[in-house]
Chain A
Amino acid sequence: MFEARLINSVTFKKVLDAIKDLLNEASFDCSEAGIQLQAMDNSHVSLVSLALRSDGFDKYRCDRNLTMGMNLASMSKIFRCSSNDDTVTIKAQDDADTVTFMFESKKQEKISDYEMKLMNLDQEHLGIPDTDFSCVIRMPAGEFARIVRDLSQFGESIVISCTKEGVKFSTSGDIGSANVKLAQTSSFEKEEEAVIIEMQEPVTLTFACQYLNSFTKATPLANQVQLSMSDNVPLVVEYQIPDLGHLRYYLAPKIEE
């Protein structure tokens, strides 16, 4: 028996919005520790890694490890039937071929349930090595989304260049070029407004706008985003989901032909 209850359905809606650009379907691996999802997009350029800790749920029970393959568009349809502040309970029997989502309104006057067929997805599990990154940048998630959106108008790629002075986002295209420089904040009123750079060595890498834009769909989940970079390894873009877990995206850099 698997049962996971989350007080506000909106959190799950935000998670779905953040991954459905990149993935059509995905396996949700459920264990006592929580729910994990790890999948590459079809072109194997990016990887989504989601972890929701069991202690972040209002109620969580997982008697046996369970992998549920789900179509994310179908899941989104179901979650669109819930109100943001509905409590959601995800339920499945051991070895079941369906999963049930139950939504309860705050006053309990409306209870709805939706049963969805599970899919048999043959997804491979990947071991992600621990990397000591040359540069780790923390910045407001909204600012990162804004920069990616702004620069995407001008080119297909964004060069991210990190030094101890700050981080620079650059692009160029048919109409010209654009640069946005962010300095490390020396003082800030709120922690979520800070730009913090931990640099061992300067790094400059180029990434496709299309994927960076997809990653910023996670912006509603977190105030801050963390970018981790080293030469010749994938960029990690991480959003911490408060009290619940994290959503990480990995993106292969563009390389010289």
Chain B
Amino acid sequence: GQVQGRLDGFFQVL
């Protein structure tokens, strides 16, 4: 099955 991914990790915290 599939689960909802998160955005954390895609974007760099400035």
For the complex formed, measure the closest distance between the CB of A22 and the CB atoms of chain B, giving whole angstroms.
12
Contact B11 A255 (CB under 8 A): no
Q: Which residue of B lies closest to A254 (CB)?
A: B2
How far is it, in angstroms, between the C-alpha of A128 and the C-alpha of B2 when the chains are bound? 25
Q: Which of B1-14 contact A (CB under 8 A)?
A: 1-8, 10-14
- Within the complex, which residue of A40, A45, A124, A126 is in contact with B4, where a contact is CB–CB below 8 Å? A45
Q: State the CA gap A129–B11 with chains docked (Å).
A: 7
Q: Which residues of A contact B6 (CB under 8 A)?
A: 43-45, 252
A190 within 8 A of partner (CB)? no
Query: What are the residues of chain A within 8 A of B11 when measuring CB–CB?
Result: 47, 126-129
Contact of A40 among B1, B2, B7, B14 (CB under 8 A): B7
Q: How far is the CA of A206 from the CA of B3 in the complex (A)?
A: 10
The residues of A that contact B13 with a CB separation of less than 8 Å are 124-127
B7 touches A46 (CB 8 A): yes
Q: Smallest CB-CB separation from A253: which chain B residue?
A: B5
B-facing mask of A119-147, CB < 8 A → 1, else 0?
Answer: 00000111111000000000000000000
Whether the pair B14, A255 counts as a contact (CB closer than 8 A) is: no
Is A243 an interface position by the 8 A CB rule?
Answer: no
The CA of A255 and the CA of B5, in the complex, are separated in Å by 6
In angstroms, Cα B6 to Cα A224, docked, is: 27
Question: A157 within 8 Å of B by Cβ?
Answer: yes
CA distance A253 to B13 in the complex (A): 20
B4 and A47 contact, CB distance less than 8 A: no
| Contact assessment for B7 and A252 in the assembled complex, using a CB-CB cutoff below 8 Å | yes
Residue from B3, B7, B14 in contact with A254 in the complex, judged by beta carbons closer than 8 Å: B3
Q: Can you list 7 contacts pairing A with B, beta carbon distance less than 8 Å? A: A44-B7, A125-B14, A126-B11, A157-B2, A254-B5, A255-B2, A255-B5
Interface contacts beyond A40-B7, A252-B6: sample of 20 additional A-B pairs, CB < 8 Å, sorted by A: A44-B6, A45-B4, A45-B7, A47-B11, A124-B14, A125-B14, A126-B13, A127-B13, A128-B11, A129-B11, A157-B2, A206-B2, A233-B10, A250-B7, A252-B10, A253-B5, A254-B2, A254-B3, A255-B2, A256-B2
Q: Which residues of B contact A (CB under 8 A)?
A: 1-8, 10-14
User: A residues touching B (Cβ–Cβ < 8 Å)?
Assistant: 40, 43-47, 124-129, 157, 206, 208, 233-234, 250, 252-257
